[in-house]
């Protein structure tokens, strides 16, 4: 017989009130990326305007991705403007749902975008005309 552990949260409005151990661990894992010096720097949440279904909206701001990429690639002048193009938001009926939705979306987009590092050696930089010329020569 397996004992199931549940957690009762009474002090943090960003987390669910009552949750299973697995859910609590996954939530804490996601929120470990969230800090003033981590990949996710800020989160803005607000209760949306009136209407049929009022929901919380949440937006996450990421850390300076160009700085991280420069350190990972050993460069000093890479400027991708990645920060300006990555706008991430989430929504939920409860505040914790909007927060986790926003953080999850940021993780998915940011870490998915870092797949560039894996393919960077196979990327060809050229003009359209030069690429057509290269294609016709082969």
pLDDT digits (tens, 9 = 90+) for 41-68: 788 888 877 777 788 888 888 777 777 7
CA distance 87 to 98: 15
% of the chain at pLDDT higher than 70: 92
CA distance 62 to 136: 43
- Global pTM reads 0.64
User: What string of DSSP letters covers 68-116?
Assistant: HHHHHHT-S-----HHHH--EEEEESSHHHHHHHHHHHHHHHHHHHTTH
Mean pLDDT to the nearest integer, 3-31: 81
Q: What is the pLDDT of residue 111?
A: 77
Mean pLDDT to the nearest integer, 6-23: 80
Residue identified by tokens 């030069």 is 130
For the chain, the structural domain boundaries read 6-137
Confidence grade of residue 128 (pLDDT, cut at 50, 70, 90)? very high
Mean pLDDT to the nearest integer, 115-137: 83
Joined tokens for residue 39:
């990949």
- Return all residues near 113 (Cβ < 8 A) that are at least 6 apart: 82, 86
């Amino acid at each position: 017989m397996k004992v199931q552990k549940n957690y009762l949260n009474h002090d943090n409005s960003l987390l669910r009130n009552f949750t299973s151990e697995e859910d609590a661990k996954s939530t804490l894992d996601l929120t470990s990326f969230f800090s003033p010096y981590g990949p996710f720097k800020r989160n803005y949440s607000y209760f949306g305007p009136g209407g049929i279904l009022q929901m919380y909206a949440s937006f996450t701001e990421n850390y300076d991705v160009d700085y991280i990429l420069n350190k990972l690639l050993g460069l000093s002048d890479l400027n991708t403007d990645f920060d300006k193009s990555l706008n991430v938001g989430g929504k939920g009926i409860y505040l914790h749902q909007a927060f986790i939705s926003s953080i999850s979306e940021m993780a998915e987009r940011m870490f998915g975008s870092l797949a560039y590092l894996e393919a960077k050696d196979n990327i060809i930089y050229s003009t359209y005309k030069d690429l057509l010329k290269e294609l016709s020569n082969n």
